Amino acid sequence: MEKCILVTGGAGLVGNAVRRRLESQGRKVVAIDLAERTRDGAPLTFCDLGDIHRLHAIATDNAIDGIVHCGAHSGPMVARDNPYSMVQVNVVGTANMLELARVHKVRRMVFCSSTSAYGDTPEGLVPEDVPLRPTSVYGGSKAASEALLWTYWRQFGVDALAIRLSWVYGPGRTTDCIIRTMIEDALAGRPTRMPFGQDFHRQFIHVEDAVSALLLALDAGEMPRRIYTVTGETYATLGEISEVVKRVLPQADIALQPGPDPVDDVHRRFDITAAKRDLGYAPQFDLETGIRSYAGWLAARTA
């Protein structure tokens, strides 16, 4: 039986992009989600992350060599009024995938974690081993899932890696995104006005760079650590990002006020040295290139 990669969250921004990249490489993929097709019409295998029996049946029917676990409530802005669902989907779902990897002896599992696991960070360059103090249930769900990943590795030898992605943007993102809002407003001839953000830093990563990091982790040899932080290697204020949007879309009319995003953490620059050294990761999309690609995708959708 041909070996395959199981991708969870196949209808989502990152999961769908992972599926496309793997298939472009000629690799067999089984992508699961709570949908039968992606937005662009690709077929998916319907499966709930909480349905452990269905997950084992899928694993039994396919020679799963690796897992890229992208399925989750995908940010602190999602399910804010339903923390129980956040825990069930994100934590129990990850536990189920780790159990699948253990029972079926999967070569490697890669887990999409998040820089939200850090919470507010201390001054200076932020390495992976600073204490985690998440401020949202979403961030807590990622930190808890990382703890499970670590213990499955130590106790059972499950080869699982966590990739802490910063804010992912780019073609395919349809949930809340400040860059998307700026672009859509510009395309529609609307002004963008925000009561915060002019001096607030946010570290974005283009979806294709996120995919590259996840697949480098999937295919790497023996790894010296279990957790890596990955960003687009930019550290810009939302005000600076708005200036990039204006260069890409000169009609953009954007005005931000000083102050932090009231629902986001204060993050200092993340250190991605470990990902560069151990994974060979190098981001390919600077902000202008990434925003230009996102603007083109959004413009095509509204044409």
Helix or strand run (H / E) with residue 6: strand 3-8
Q: How does pLDDT run across 261-279, given as a tens digit for each residue? A: 998 999 999 999 999 999 9
Confidence check: pLDDT of 95 > 80: yes
Q: How does pLDDT run across 18-29, given as a tens digit for each residue? A: 999 999 999 999
Q: Are residues 194 and 213 in the same domain?
A: no
Q: Are residues 192 and 147 in the same domain?
A: no
Q: Are residues 58 and 191 in the same domain?
A: no
Confidence check: pLDDT of 231 > 80: yes
Domain at 162, CATH number: 3.40.50.720
Instruction: Report d(CA 34, CA 295) in Å as an integer.
Output: 28
Q: Are residues 34 and 57 in the same domain?
A: yes
Q: What is the dihedral of CA 92, 93, 99, 100, to 10 degrees?
A: 160
pTM for this prediction: 0.96
Q: Are residues 128 and 194 in the same domain?
A: no
- The residue assigned the tokens 């687009």 is 232
Q: Are residues 210 and 185 in the same domain?
A: no
Domain residues for 247? Answer: 178-202+234-266+288-302
Q: Are residues 153 and 239 in the same domain?
A: no
Confidence check: pLDDT of 71 > 80: yes
Instruction: Report d(CA 168, CA 42) in Å as an integer.
Output: 22
b/e 220-238 (16+ beta carbons within 10 angstroms → b):
eeeeeebbbbbbbbbbbbb
Q: Are residues 37 and 70 in the same domain?
A: yes
Q: Are residues 187 and 240 in the same domain?
A: yes
Report H helices in 189-237.
207-219
Q: Please report the pLDDT score of residue 79 as a whole number.
A: 60
Instruction: Report d(CA 193, CA 186) in Å as an integer.
Output: 12
Q: What is the dihedral of CA 86, 59, 33, 9, to 10 degrees?
A: 60
Q: Are residues 33 and 118 in the same domain?
A: yes
Residue 235 exposure: Cα atoms within 13 Å on the Cβ side: 11
Q: How does pLDDT run across 109-156, given as a tens digit for each residue? A: 999 999 999 999 999 999 999 999 999 999 999 999 999 999 999 999
Q: Please report the pLDDT score of residue 78 as a whole number.
A: 62
Could you give the number of structural domains in the chain? 2
Between residues 236 and 263, the one the model is more confident about: 236
- Comparing C-alpha atoms, which of 155, 113, 156 is closest to residue 134? 113
Q: Are residues 69 and 112 in the same domain?
A: yes
Domain at 292, CATH number: 3.90.25.10
Q: Are residues 154 and 192 in the same domain?
A: no
Residue 61 tokens read as 């029917």
Instruction: Report d(CA 115, CA 134) in Å as an integer.
Output: 9
Q: How does pLDDT run across 164-178, given as a tens digit for each residue? A: 999 999 999 988 899
SS3 of residue 228 by DSSP: strand
Q: How does pLDDT run across 101-111, given as a tens digit for each residue? A: 999 999 999 99
